Structure formats: structure tokens, C-alpha cells
Amino acid sequence: MKDRQPTGTGEHAAPDRSDDRWNDKYPYLGTAPIPIEPYISREYFTLERERIFRKVWLNVGRIERIPNPGDYIVVALPVCRTSVVVVRGKDGYLHAFHNMCSHRGNKIVWDHKGSCQNFTCKFHGWSYGLDGRLTFIPDEQGFCGLQKDKLGLTPVAVDTWAGFIFIHLDPHPTETLRAYLAEVVPGLEGYPFPELSATRFCWRTEIKANWKIAQDAFQEGYHLPVRHKATAAGAFTSGTNPHCHFLSLDLYERHRRTSSYGNLNYQPTPVAGRAYQFGSSVVVDRDITLDNLPAGVNPTRRSDWSIDTFWIFPNFSIFPSNGTYLTHQFWPITEERTIWETHTYFPKAENAGQKFSQEYSKVLLRDILMEDGTTLEHMQDVLASGAKTHMPLQHQEICVRHAYRVVEDYVGFYAGR
């Protein structure tokens, strides 16, 4: 049911958004260029490892991937020099451990996903329950003074919010997940994650770029009319919003959110039009009904809206739209190498038409993301040249400025310099 008519007819033409001055809303961030060093420095990267990634909650996926007791996923965390197993226990609760045998340190799980009754090391056969307790040692009498009850797998804190699984490398974190996410929870409360998470697509790539360079590319729309001229510019810009200015944004202590414009006059291509006709699509939704979205998504309640973003510190983001959402994770490997994972989610397809629609939506998303991939590597190639020391940022790039500030507040690289 439509509760509003499309406004692209001129009746409610989108206002000129050329005068948004987001820097004025957050004067504490300043307007000065930001330094390049954090994006190229090994010293900075080492501090990020110690002061961020070992100290905060990190998203590692969704609960739909491990619905039954014994189901597990394995998450590589090269930034923390570890691998983590998240498993649903026989008690139905999630448990998480460093993926490392207590004997001589072999990884106990070698694949990325599976289901098991217990974890048995492929080196000497030490065996652990799903709760991490050490249950069996071959030729146990050969060891002297072994305290078997203290040789379980090393635990990692794990908790969930809205079906998203988060881990914390401190097994007893001082801050609960709920408190950590408190700034963004109201914005996403009530968003239909369970229904929209039925169909999951995921791409993974390793890029030669700093994790913040990669992430920052998705935190501003300023590049969209240029870099995505062939793909996304038509749907996300217009004569009244030619530079893809945000509809709204909020910067929090650690996290942030934005809301983006959609061009209701955009004419989809023939195949996009059919995809839209037969199901959900990432192209701007002319039939959007505002009452099927919670108040925190599209907070300005405009019909010429496309997608919101929620940036969860340090490396996770959720992009809710109408009937579909996507997430990005950027996992640092070194100061200039990153694992980039994008998931896109849809409801369960009921028929072939809906499957086709989802297929088109994800292929278009993938081709748009690939346009970004090249830029990231070209930037990293020359950032360390020393030719420039700082980057100027404009109002529409304030999320990049905020992201830099939050990281630096944790890292303290420039404090006292």
C-alpha cells in the first residue's frame, strides 16, 4: 500500500542541498586537513592493534549462519594475530574461543564453517567440548603434572545484538555489547533484520590498501557522481542534488550514521525495471512506504530517500534500505593490506521472479563496489610517497574526518606530540 506519492513530479521537488555545512554542526572536529600518516604508518598500525582491535567489540557475522548446536564459524583476525571460533553450544548459547590447541598451538579448526560434536586437534588428537573444555588427551599418562581442567580453549567474549554476533578478545570486557552499541541502537531498533536476513550473499577480497582508506570510501557520497558515473550516479544524484549531499547525518562518540538521497526521476535500465517489477531492488524505490521502516531509518521521512548507513566502530557498517540491507567489514592485515567483506541480504525469495530481482540487485551492487576497489589500491600506491602530508576534506566528507578523530582518540599517536 502506498502512503505517499512519488515526489519527483515537481509537486514536492527536492530542495537544493548545496548549502549543507556539516562541519558547522560539529565544530569540535575542526576543518583542517587530516594527516596521511595514520594510513601508511606501521607504528600507527601497531597502536591500532593494541588500543583498538584488542579492546573493542567486533562484528563477526550473523546468527543465521550457526542456527543449531555444534554449528560454528571461524573468523580470521590477522590484526590481532589470531583466529576465533564461534560455536553454538549444546546449551544453545554461543561460545567463542581462540582457534588454538592448548597443547602445541595448532589451529583446532581449519575450515571456515561447519558443524561438529566436539573439536579434535588434527596434530595429536586433543579433544574439546563445544564449551571449550578439554575432554580427551591421547596417551594422557605420558604427561607430567598436567592440570587438564585449566587447559580448555582460551575463551573470547561473545554476545549478539539484533542477530549480529560480536566478539571481544578480552574474555571479561568492562563494557557490555549493549552499552558499546547504545549510540546506534535507537536508530536501528525495529528494523526487520530477521526477515531480511533470510538470503545472504557475500564477496570477499584482499586489497592492497589500509583498512581506513578502504572504509572511508564508503563514508561519503562526494565521489559518487565521478567514480560511479556509469552505475549509481543516476539513482543517487539529480539536478537538485548533483553532488550526492546527505539528507541527514549524526556523529556520535564512536559511531555515526547518515541518510542518503534517492532520485525519484531516475529511469531504470530495461533489466533494472524488470528486476524492480518482480521483486526487491537496490534501485530507488518509487513505491516506498514510510510506515514499514522504523523511525530511525530514513529519519527525515522523505520519499526521495535511498539508503542509510550506520558505522559501528571500528570496522563494521550496516546500510539499511527498503527491503534489503548490506554490511561491510574491513579487516586489517598490515598497514597496507586489508580483507574486505561485503554482505548483502534479502528476504527469502518466494519465486523465480524474486530470485531474479535479487540476482540483479547483487550483481549491480558488486559492479559498483568494484569501481571503488581500484581507487583504494591506487591511493595506497602513492600515499607513502611523501609528496603530500595531509588531505583536505569538505563538509560532505565529515564522516571521514570523524572516523579519523575517533581512531586517533583511541590510538593517541599525536597526543603529546
Partner 1 sequence: MTESGWPAAFRTLQPFLGWALATEAERTQKRQTSEMADIQAFYNAMLSHLEDILVYLNQFPLEHMPPHARQLMDMTFSLAEIAPAVELFGQPREDDTFDPFRFVPQHQ
Q: Which residues of this chain interact with partner 1, rule CB under 8 A?
A: 200-206, 230-231, 269-272, 274-275, 277-278, 341, 349-353, 355-356, 359-360, 363-364, 366-367, 369-374
Phi, psi of 282 (to 5 degrees): -80, -10
List the 119-120 sheet strands across, edge first.
119-120, 127-128, 134-136
Q: Using the Cα atoms of residue 358, residue 364, residue 365 and residue 366 in order, give the sign of their dihedral.
A: positive
- List, in sequence order, every residue forming a beta bridge with 88; answer none if it has no partner: 94
Shortest spacing between CB 378 and partner 1, in angstroms = 9
How far apart CA 171 and CA 212 sit, in angstroms, is 26
Nearer Cβ to partner 1, position 132 or 234?
A: 234
Nearer Cβ to partner 1, position 97 or 345?
A: 345
Shortest spacing between CB 279 and partner 1, in angstroms = 9
How far apart CA 38 and CA 28 sit, in angstroms, is 20
CB 310 within 8 A of CB 162: no
Phi, psi of 338 (to 5 degrees): -145, 140
Which ranges of 165-299 would DSSP assign to H, the alpha helix? 177-180, 185-188, 193-196, 211-216, 224-227, 233-236, 270-278
Nearer Cβ to partner 1, position 127 or 231?
A: 231
Shortest spacing between CB 387 and partner 1, in angstroms = 22
* 3-state SS assignment for residue 97: strand
Shortest spacing between CB 202 and partner 1, in angstroms = 4
CB 87 within 8 A of CB 129: no
Shortest spacing between CB 246 and partner 1, in angstroms = 25
Nearer Cβ to partner 1, position 292 or 374?
A: 374
Shortest spacing between CB 325 and partner 1, in angstroms = 16
Nearer Cβ to partner 1, position 115 or 205?
A: 205
Nearer Cβ to partner 1, position 47 or 275?
A: 275
